[in-house]
Amino acid sequence: MGYLLILIKVNKGLALIVVLWVITLLTIMASSFALTIQRETAIIGGLKEAAQAAALAEGGINFGILMLLNTDTEKRWQANSSLYEIQFAGSRIRILIADESGKVNVNLASKEQLQQLFESLAVEEPSADSLSDAIIDWRDKNESPEINGAEQSQYESADLKYSPRNDQFKSVEEVQMVLGMTAEIYKQLEAKISVYTRNKKINPMTASREVLLTLPDVNKEMVDEYLLQRAENERNGEKVVKPDWYSGGSNSEVYMIVAEAMIAEGISEKIMAIMKRGKANNGLPFEILKWVEDYPVSSLFSPGNDERVIN
């Protein structure tokens, strides 16, 4: 009888332990399930917000095109690296418009201009020198390399399965194939070069600071002073003029438009389009030459851009 009582007590103890283990296991499973649901909900919410921001940014591109084509010259938006902000569907959208004539044309730029552009991007002098020569070797017709450049033999020595085109660049993206070009350098370079302009001279009224620094006989103080004056004229609705230290360049009728939509703090999407004014094959008064989603440039909502916004 005593043995039976002991056995019953032992079985009750084991049963209690099993029950506690089952409860613990169920609690862990429930917590894990709840955490998974929470994470999936956050992911779905993030995807929804990203899609919403992308749609608004696309709308910003279309609105920018509309304002560029406005027949009322007083209401027409400027294209001097001009930054505008609009409100739509409860969100802020910033739109940057710049005539391509303010960029360095990689098919026309001189060795000195290319080198100065790289140096303005903080590329060390030896790399800036070799990259400039390599770009010229890519676009020229011969197989004779520049002093620090690269033709077919240099690409073969680097185990690359391609060689220079020996013709003009067909796209900005093609510059990534130039020997010595890195992803980091190209990311800085991309928004400052073009293949769409036909004028070798830079239009200072629409050029960025880095591009202005490539112009002859200028320094940082001259460039910064001009940029401040240019921004002030735009905000006041006054005509933007060329600086007295450089008169070259003219508009190209080809524009870069970058639109960024801010849904919430830290949640935004950017789209870039290259638009050419003029009747297209589809009958529209413009043609889209390029379209890039999630364009890799600094946020248009960064604090340094607040003073540039034209209301």
Q: In this structure, what CATH number is given to the domain that contains residue 136?
A: 1.10.40.60
For residues 302 and 168, state if they share a domain. Answer: no
Residues in the chain: 311
Q: Which tokens go with 233?
A: 């004229």
Q: How confident is the model at residue 45 (pLDDT cuts 50, 70, 90)?
A: very low
Beta bridge partners of 92: 87, 262
What's the Cα-to-Cα distance from 300 to each of 92, 96, 229, 233, 260, rounded to whole Å? 11, 8, 20, 20, 7
Q: Provide φ and ψ at 49, rounded to 5°.
A: -65, -40
Which residues are 255's β-sheet partners?
99, 275
What's the confidence (pLDDT) of residue 286?
A: 93
Q: How far is CA 200 from CA 66, 108, 142, 182, 203, in A?
A: 29, 6, 21, 25, 9
207 and 95 belong to one structural domain: yes
Of 162, 190, 218, the domain-final residue: 190
Which run of H or of E encompasses 261? Answer: strand 254-264
pLDDT class of 168 with cuts at 50, 70, 90: very high
In this structure, what are the phi and psi dihedrals at residue 286, rounded to the nearest 5 degrees? Answer: -155, 165
Looking at residue 138, its pLDDT comes to 97
Asked whether the beta carbons of 248 and 102 are under 8 A apart, the reply is no
Task: Tell me which of 190, 219, 246 is where a domain ends.
Answer: 190
pLDDT, residue 1, reads 55
Residue pair 129/116 in contact (Cβ under 8 Å)? The answer is no
For the segment 76-115, what is each residue's pLDDT rounded down to a tens digit? 999 999 999 999 988 999 999 999 999 999 999 999 999 9
| pLDDT above 50 for 4 | no
Q: Same domain, yes or no, for 134 and 185?
A: yes
Please state the domain count of the chain.
Answer: 2
Where a domain ends, among 163, 190, 217?
190
What whole-number percentage of the chain has pLDDT above 70?
A: 85
If asked whether residues 205 and 218 sit together in one domain, one would say: yes
pLDDT score of 297: 82
182 and 203 co-located in one domain? no
| Helix (H) or strand (E) segment spanning residue 123 | none
One domain, residues 70 and 121: no
- Tell me: do 134 and 265 sit in the same domain: no
165 and 214, same domain (yes or no): no
Instruction: Show the tokens assigned to 88.
Output: 């739509």
Same domain (yes/no): 90, 115: no
User: Residue 111: what pLDDT?
Assistant: 93
Which residues constitute the domain of residue 73? 1-103+197-311
Residues 72 and 210 grouped into a single domain: yes
DSSP state of 188: H
The 3-state DSSP class for residue 162 equals coil
Tokens 């894990």 sit at which residue? 32
Assess whether 286 and 208 both reside in one domain: yes
Same domain, 167 and 278: no
Cα 94 to Cα 59, 144, 202, 203, distances in angstroms: 11, 47, 25, 23
> Global pTM?
0.79
**Is the confidence at residue 3, as pLDDT, over 80?**
no
